């Protein structure tokens, strides 16, 4: 290439096969295979843990809208985090739309060997640029959770836990998360 490349468009996303996940990050189209079972299991278990007390307010504080794999149109990027959450005061009613233009307050990326570099580099930069307050990186193969908070438009790591630790991680620190439940078979 001669230094000029065509920016990916939404039409490019529409050509992605249904067994893959397509995202546009920093003008480039990224196509990833659907996640393997450890990834899918960790995302499901974490979504279930968050859904009752935070989204539905059952035995917990409520105040959140939590979604699995929402399509986010942030600036020129089209991102699909594994999980995302909006505080209800910022999104009192969930719009009936295929894609969200309001940046979430929290995102979680479950790392896979094929997506870890993209998630840790370009997607983290995009989330910071758009003002996402909190970011979790879950690695089911290493059995690790990393928690970040956005401070002055930069990520500040708030904690790193692994194995069977019980965690109080922001912005959901009010309830304990037993990491072992994310890795159980």
Q: What's the pLDDT score for residue 3? A: 59
- How do 134-139 and 83-87 pair as beta strands? unpaired
Q: Which CATH number fits domain 35-183: 3.90.1570.10, 3.40.50.2300, 3.30.360.10, 2.130.10.10?
A: 3.90.1570.10
Which residues have CB under 8 Å from 130's CB, separation 6+? 74, 75, 103
Q: What's the pLDDT score for residue 176? A: 95
Q: What's the pLDDT score for residue 83? A: 97
**CA 164, 151, 105, 119: dihedral to nearest 10 degrees?**
-60
Q: What's the pLDDT score for residue 5? A: 78
Could you identify the residue written with the tokens 């993209």? 118
Burial status of residue 127 (CB atoms within 10 A of its CB: 0-12, 13-18, 19 or more): buried
**CA 122, 128, 130, 132: dihedral to nearest 10 degrees?**
120
Over its length of 185 residues, how does the chain's per-residue pLDDT go in tens digits?
445 678 999 899 999 999 899 999 999 999 998 888 999 999 999 999 999 999 998 888 999 999 999 999 999 999 999 999 999 999 998 899 989 999 999 999 999 998 999 999 999 999 999 999 999 999 999 999 999 999 999 999 999 999 999 999 999 999 999 999 999 87
**CA 137, 130, 175, 109: dihedral to nearest 10 degrees?**
-20
Q: What's the pLDDT score for residue 8? A: 93
What are the residues facing 150 on neighbouring strands? 155
């Amino acid at each position: 290439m001669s230094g000029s490349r065509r920016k990916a468009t939404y039409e490019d996303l529409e050509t992605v096969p249904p067994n893959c996940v397509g995202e546009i990050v920093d003008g480039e189209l990224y196509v990833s295979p659907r996640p393997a079972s450890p990834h899918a299991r960790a995302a499901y278990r974490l979504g279930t843990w968050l859904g009752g007390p935070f989204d539905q307010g059952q035995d917990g504080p409520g105040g959140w809208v939590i979604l699995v794999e929402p399509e986010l149109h942030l600036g020129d990027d089209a991102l699909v985090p594994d999980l995302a959450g909006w505080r209800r005061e910022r999104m009192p009613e969930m719009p009936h739309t295929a894609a969200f233009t309001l940046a979430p307050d929290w995102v979680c990326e479950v790392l896979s060997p094929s997506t870890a570099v993209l998630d840790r580099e370009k997607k983290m930069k995009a989330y910071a640029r758009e003002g996402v307050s909190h970011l979790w990186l879950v690695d089911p193969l290493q059995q690790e959770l990393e928690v970040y908070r956005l401070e002055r438009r930069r990520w500040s790591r708030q904690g790193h836990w692994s194995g069977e630790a019980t965690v109080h991680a922001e912005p959901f620190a009010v309830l304990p998360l037993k990491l072992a439940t994310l890795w159980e078979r």
